Homo-oligomer: A and B are copies of this chain.
Amino acid sequence: MLVIYTTDMRKEASTNAINEKFLFQTCELNSALNVISGRWKAQIIYSISLGNNRFNLIRKELPNLSEQVLGRQLKELETHAIIVKRILPDTVPTGIEYILTSKGLALIPILSSLCDWGKTYEEGKEIYHL
Interface residues of A (CB under 8 A from B): 15, 18-20, 22-23, 26-33, 36-37, 39-40, 42-43, 46, 62, 64-65, 81, 84, 99-103, 106-107, 109-111, 113-122, 126-130
The list of the 3 closest CB pairs from A to B, nearest first, reads: A28-B118, A37-B37, A32-B118
Q: Smallest CB–CB gap between A70 and chain B, Å?
A: 12
When chains A and B are docked, how far (Å) is the Cα of A83 from the Cα of B28? 23
Known contacts A27-B43, A64-B22, A121-B103, A33 near B36 by CB under 8 Å:
yes
Instruction: State whether A39 touches B27 (Cβ < 8 A).
Output: no
Chain B, Cβ-Cβ closest to A125: B103
Least Cβ–Cβ distance between A123 and chain B, in angstroms:
9
